[in-house]
């Protein structure tokens, strides 16, 4: 995977600041094509779900 700040976290396509926005839920860039789509919501959920991978304690 390329540089996170230059790649849409949903479709993994290269982006620039002119054709993308920051998804404030996961703090990752999303292209205008994916912004507000069900695919973005699914990728958001997957990104948040993966944060707890490997943790045993439930205190996070």
Please report the pLDDT score of residue 37 as a whole number. Answer: 96
Q: Is residue 41 part of a domain?
A: yes
Please report the pLDDT score of residue 4 as a whole number. Answer: 74
Calculate the alpha carbon distances from 52 to 19, 32, 37, 48 in Å: 31, 28, 24, 8
Regions of the chain where pLDDT drops below 50: 1
Please report the pLDDT score of residue 55 as a whole number. Answer: 62
Distance of CA 16 to the CA centre of its chain: 15
Q: Is residue 32 part of a domain?
A: yes
Q: Is residue 13 part of a domain?
A: yes
Please report the pLDDT score of residue 53 as a whole number. Answer: 63
Q: Give the predicted TM-score (pTM) of the model.
A: 0.76
Q: Is residue 40 part of a domain?
A: yes
Q: How many domains does the chain have?
A: 1
């Amino acid at each position: 995977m390329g540089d996170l700040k230059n790649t849409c976290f949903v479709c993994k396509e290269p982006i620039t600041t002119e054709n993308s926005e920051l998804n404030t839920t996961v703090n990752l860039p999303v292209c205008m094509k994916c912004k507000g789509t069900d695919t973005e919501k699914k990728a958001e959920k997957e990104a948040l779900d993966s944060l707890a991978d490997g943790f045993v304690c439930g205190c996070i």
